[in-house]
Amino acid sequence: MIMLPLNKRTGFTLLEVLVALVILMVGMMALLSAANNAISFNMDNILRDEAVQIADAKMRVVKANNAATFSLPFQNLSIVSIQQSKLGSKSTPYTVTLSSSTTGGDSNLIQVLVSWNYKNKLKKHELSTLKTY
């Protein structure tokens, strides 16, 4: 068996392998962080889209009906309801606030406010219209 001098041996030292592993782990952590952010932003957009759909559905009902449909007088009225998310196993409650205020004459300012919590932050979507009777 021929022994090569120490300075002529080929291969990697343990230190080189450890440095390569650390560099690889830092890169993997960055990729996982980017994937986590992408999932979080995607979920936020899904919840916002659902809130827009809820607000739009509530506004369509208000626009289709007249003031006599509601049991309360429609001037300066505020109705709060809670609606559950339809996202499979995730259950996100949306608080839907329907409010109306007179703007003068025969018209009312109707506002639908949908609010929800995501990652301990309060998110809101508001829809407004002016209805003349």
Q: Identify the residue with better confidence: 10 or 13.
A: 13
* Residue 20 pLDDT exceeds 90: yes
* Residue 12 pLDDT exceeds 50: yes
Residues 6+ apart with CB under 8 A from 58: 96, 98, 112, 114, 127
Burial of 41 (0-12, 13-18, 19+ CB in 10 A): exposed
CA distance 113 to 51: 9
| pLDDT averaged over every residue in the chain | 81
pLDDT at res. 41: 93
Question: What is the average per-residue pLDDT within 29-58?
Answer: 93
* Residue 106 pLDDT exceeds 50: yes
Q: What is the dihedral of CA 101, 103, 107, 110, to 10 degrees?
A: -40
Question: What is the average per-residue pLDDT within 45-71?
Answer: 79
* Residue 70 pLDDT exceeds 70: no
Q: Where are the domains of the chain?
A: 15-132
CA distance 73 to 9: 92
Longest CA span, the chain:
106
pTM, rounded to two decimals = 0.70
pLDDT at res. 72: 39
